[in-house]
Amino acid sequence: MALPKLNSPTYQLELPSTGEKLKFRPFLIKEQKILMMAQESGEDVQLFQAMKGLVTACTFGKVDAENSPVFDIEYLFLQIRAKSVGETTTINIICPDDGKTQVPYELNIEDISVNMTENHTNIVELTDTIKVHFRYPILSDMEGLKSGASEMETLFHVINNCVHEIHDGDDVYHRVDMSEKEIDEFMDSLSTTQFESITEFFQTAPKLRHVINVTNPKTKKKNEVVLEGLQDFLG
């Protein structure tokens, strides 16, 4: 006789990038085991693969986790986690006023949202005629990095990967037609001001963001702390 099958509850949310309403379910033990093994491995690639697999399964295959923006995947992962193991999580906050005192803080995951910067655009104007169209980073952009890559190496790697099109007047150069060498040479030819315009796109891109206030028990000072990115919310 076949054992009974358990039905998972379903919930609904809005995908930050599109506003599309999406159904999802909590993760199952089999998915949690894969995630825990990836976390224990300490390998980013395994963790990214586990996250993508989990998000795809828990959204019934409606989300293309391979090509979705990181902020979508991180938001989905948090919401799935909330419905799976609890809507609150305790994280340790280091008080900015002395840089060392840790304070436990109970965070409600449902309060966390993706911050959209006003007037943000994925088109960066380098000159009157030359513009670069970027896509948002995806998890796969981080998988090609060498272990121990510096912050600057990571930045250039992500920037180069996210080039979607380069426009020069009426001429359009598509990403599929560009070699890695050509993109490297193009980026190396930028002035400091032009490169700063590109980094601004990434700095103002949508991201998980939440502001909390904690009081340092030693100094009694109140501190405003900004949490950004998935790692901050998982402690």
* Same domain for 67 and 86: yes
* CB-neighbour burial class of residue 114 (10 A; exposed 0-12, middle 13-18, buried 19+): middle
Across the range 46-61, mean pLDDT stands at 92
- End-to-end, the C-alpha distance of the chain in Å comes to 45
User: Quick one: tokens of 124?
Assistant: 């960066």
Polymer length in residues for the chain? 235
* Same domain for 47 and 106: yes
118, part of any domain: no
User: Quick one: tokens of 106?
Assistant: 């109970």
* Same domain for 212 and 197: no
Residue in 100, 115, 96, 88 with CA at minimum distance from that of residue 214: 96
177, part of any domain: yes
pLDDT score, position 230: 84
Pair 54, 73: CB distance under 8 Å: no
Distance CA(118)–CA(120), nearest Å, equals: 5
The predicted model scores a pTM of: 0.88
Distance CA(5)–CA(89), nearest Å, equals: 30
- Angle at alpha carbon of residue 146, lines to 143 and 159, rounded to 5°: 65
Q: How many domains does the structure of the chain reveal?
A: 2
2, part of any domain: no
- Whether residue 155 is predicted with pLDDT greater than 80 in this model: the reply is yes
* Same domain for 101 and 32: yes
Residue 235's pLDDT band (cuts 50, 70, 90): low
* Same domain for 150 and 93: no
pLDDT score, position 146: 64
* Same domain for 98 and 147: no
Containing domain of residue 58, as a range? 11-112+207-234
165, part of any domain: yes
- Whether residue 6 is predicted with pLDDT greater than 70 in this model: the reply is yes
pLDDT score, position 47: 85
54, part of any domain: yes
Across the range 184-201, mean pLDDT stands at 96
pLDDT score, position 219: 95
12-48 pLDDT per residue, tens: 999 999 999 999 999 999 999 998 898 888 777 888 8
* Same domain for 213 and 102: yes
Beta bridge partners of 90: 106
